[in-house]
Structures are given as C-alpha cells and as structure tokens.
Structure 1
Amino acid sequence: MKFTKIALVSVIGMTSLVGAAHSTFAEGPSVGNSKAAITFVAGSGPVTPVDPTNPTEPLVPSGPTDPTDPPTGNAGSLTLDYVSSVEFGSNEISNRTEEYSSKSKKPFIQVTDRRGTGDGWSVIAKASKFTNGTTDSLPGAVITFKNGSTVSISNGTSPEVNNTIILNTDGNTTAAVVSAKSGTGLGTWVTRWLGPSPEENDGSLNDNVTLTIPAGSATVGSHDATITWTLTDAPGL
C-alpha cells in the first residue's frame, strides 16, 4: 500500500512540470507601428453664405423672410462673406421722436477664418448719412442692433458679440460688432439679429434692429443709408 501512494505522487508531480514548461516558452504578440499624416494650408477662395437659422445649409433665398443681398465674393483666408440689408418699411411722419423696428427678420453677417493660426479677428461698422437725393435727409437718425447671437457648424469657441451696437448715421463714427479673441472664431461664424418666428411671414417686426428718427427730422420720400462692415485680422471689443 505504501508503494502505490508513492507512485501516484510521482505522476502528479510530473504533470505539473510539463504545464510549467509549456507556459515558459509561449509566444507573445507581434507588434509594428505605422503613421497617418496630413498637411493643411490656409483657405483661399470665396465662402458660400449659410442660412442664419441653420448653418448646416447654404443660404438659398426662397422664403419671404430670407435676406436677398448677394454674397460679398471676398476671397482669402480671412473673409467677410455676407452682410444683409435692413428694411424699415413705410411710416407716417410723426411730430415726436420715434423708434421703428425692422421688417427684416433674419439680418446677419458671416465671417470665415481659414488661416489656421487662431490669431483672432474683429468686425466694426459705420453708417453713412441718409439721403433721398440730398445729403443728410434724416439728420440725427440712429440705427441700433441689439441682442445678437452667433452660430456655426464649428466646434470651436464662439466669438463675442457686442450686445448693443449703436450706429450714428454721420458717416464717421464706428462701433464694435463682434470679436474673436486669440484661439476663438475659427471656421465660419454667423452673427445674427433675429426677430420673432424668423421663418414665418406673419407680419411681426424685429425689435432687435431699430431706427430712431428725431422729432422734426423726417421728410417725405424714400431714404437710404449705407452700413459699412469692416473685418480686420486682430481682436477688438
């Protein structure tokens, strides 16, 4: 009986040694490295304006509330792609100072930064004197943009919009509009001043864009002023 027990122990011991030897000589994974590479240069051609309410879509003026101004056509790596006009309609002359809200429900400007440097940029604006055939036909008139917002398909940090932009119609005074600090505003950004239900032609006015006419300033006829928007390659505000 003692011999049988000793033989059994010997067999078990040999089995353990075989398993240990197999583990010691097992092969590991075979590894190699490769690379993925790409090169970028600054953008150059004009950029298509986008819909201010849905920047994933191009601006195709088809609805009654869409801006119809043509694109600027500016080319380069930092461009002002679009600026839209504002319309205040037909109004009776008042004997008091009056503020008129815009009939334009989706006014906006569009800036594209394809420099790839993140150096920042800014936009300023100024308004000319109103004219109806004679210079300064609405002396003292003031155009105001307020409560603006920015939108983009970019995942980057948004530029900052000046909350209230006051344009004295003297042809000289400038006002800060929107500014991208260093590292912000890359890609295409829309700055917009939307009215209520901007897609609906329901007759509502846009209180975020107004024209103030001083008492005694209005005269009969149609009056036009030009707003000049200027993009520079340095942050402002």
Structure 2
Amino acid sequence: MTIKILGMVASLACILGILTGPTQITAFATTTRDSQRTTATTSLTPGDTTGPVKPVDPDNPGGGFQPEPGDEDNHGTGSTGVLTLDYVSNLTFKQGATTGQTLSATATNTKAFIQVSDRRYNGAGWKLTLLAGYPKGQSNGETLSQSSLAIGSTKFTPAIANTVSNPPVTTLDGKQPVKMGESTLVGEAGRDAGIGTWLLRLNDNSASPMRLFFNSAQVTRKQSYAGELTWQLTEAP
C-alpha cells in the first residue's frame, strides 16, 4: 500500500509541476478588412470645341498633313462645331477591263480617308452615311444611270493610338454595293464609342479596292465622267 501511494503522489507532483511551472503564452492577432477613402481633385479646362480640326495624315498621324498627289488643293473642310467632318478625300478611278456588259473602274488613291471628330464627349455615338450621285459626262452631260459603287475594304482608326474605345466603330461590308442615288450607312459609332477624332481609311487594301461598275452600253463616247459623293455625319438616334 505504501509503495503504491508514494507512486501516486510522485505522479501527481509531476503533473502539478507541469501545471504550476513557468507557462509560455502565445498571442494570436485577429486580422480584419479595413478601407479608407481619400479624395483626388484637379482643375480641368475644356479643349477647343469651336475651331476646325486639322486633317491628320493617315500614314503619319504624329507628323504634318500632306495631301495625296492629285488632291493637293484639298486641305480640309474647315467645319466647326462639336461633331464635324474635317476632311473628305476626292477620288480618282481608272478604267479596267470590260466583262460582258459590265465596265469597271478602280480607285487609284492610296491614302484616301474621311476624318470625323466628335467633341461632344458625351458618348452619344454618331452615323456616317454616303449618297453617291450618278456619274455625268463632262462633255455632253450624259448620265450613267445604270451604275453602282463598291466601297471596298474600309476601317476606322483613331487619330491618337490610345483613344478610349479603340474602336468599336463599325463599317460597311465592302462587298455590298452602294446604290447610286440612295443614302447608305457607311460607319457607325455606338454608345460610348467614336469619341475624339477618327479616320475612315478608303482604298488601302489592294485585295478589296473601291470600284465603280457601269452598263457598258450606256458609255457611248470617250470622255471624262464625274459624280458627287456626299458624306453626311449625324448624331446617333
């Protein structure tokens, strides 16, 4: 009995030594999500929305504008306002081969473009339409009423490479013919798109150029023909 009791006491003392001896305490820090707000302020002066926007060279946007050969007298429309057509290229076409009853002519321009500026800065969007007039003979006034225009491959590029919404500005399917005497939607900037200055490149893809098509039976004499292309920029509905 005595031996067993001593054994129990010894065991108890050992346990008490553990419980009553020096104790190490570990502290656990509780993390919480915290946020603070500060205010950033600045003073801004609106840009010029009254004067005309100068043409931007489509091949060298950062350099000076140089008109295309054959269009040297075209230095821009001079239009003023917050939604403007700044530049519209004149186009020259060269006659190609006749296929059946169809006579065609292909645009010779290499840097033709239409320049659009939206300085409303409200993201309302805009539409660009084209009304192609019938070509008329410069000698006898003959009208080629059976004709059409294929606008070919087109694309919008921003005048400044880092323009916001870069793009979505949609363009006409180049394979779809433009009917003479009817307004055709060529380009459209949707909501929050088309802000700033944009260039619609024309005839810059040799695989899908701008072309005119005529009924060869209407071409009765050799002469120069000219027709008006009316480009119109309107606010999106």
Query: 1:45 deviation in Å?
Result: 0.8
Residue 67 of structure 1 contacts residue 85 of structure 1 at CA under 8 Å; is this kept in 2?
Answer: no
Return the alpha-carbon distance in structure 2 between the equivalents of residues 52 and 149 of structure 1.
12
Deviation at 1:190, TM superposition (A): 0.1
For residues 35 and 94 of structure 1, the distance between their equivalents in structure 2, rounded to whole angstroms, comes to 67
1:103 aligns with 2:114: no
Q: Percent identity?
A: 28
1:159-197 Cα shifts (integer Å, max 9, x gaps): 11112263333xx3111011111100011000012435x
Deviation per residue, 1:34-89 (Å, 9 max, x gap): 8422242671110001112232234222x648775331110011100011121113
Residues in 1 aligned to 2:59 and 2:40: alpha-carbon distance in whole angstroms: 43
Partner Cα distance (2:81, 2:189) in 1: 18
Q: 1:217 to 1:67 in 2, by over 3 A?
A: farther
Question: Is the CA contact (8 Å cut-off) linking 2:95 and 2:106 kept in structure 1?
Answer: no
Q: Structure 2 stretches of 5 or more lacking a match?
A: 1-37
In structure 1, runs of 5+ residues without a counterpart are 1-31, 197-204
State TM-score, norm by structure 1: 0.71
Shift of 1:111: 0.2
Q: Which residue of 1 aligns with 2:170?
A: 160
Pair 1:136–1:65, CA change in 2 (3 A): closer
Deviation of 1:105 after TM superposition, in Å, equals 1.6
TM-score by length of 2: 0.71
Deviation at residue 92 of structure 1 after TM alignment: 8.0
- Given that 2:153 and 2:204 are in contact with CA atoms closer than 8 Å, whether structure 1 keeps it comes out as no
Cα RMSD for the two superposed structures: 2.8
Query: How many residues are treated as equivalent by the alignment?
Result: 193
Larger radius of gyration: 2
Q: Which amino acid aligns with 2:145?
A: P
1:130 and 2:135 aligned = yes
Following the alignment from structure 1 to structure 2, what is the Cα–Cα distance between the partners of residues 33 and 139?
Answer: 65
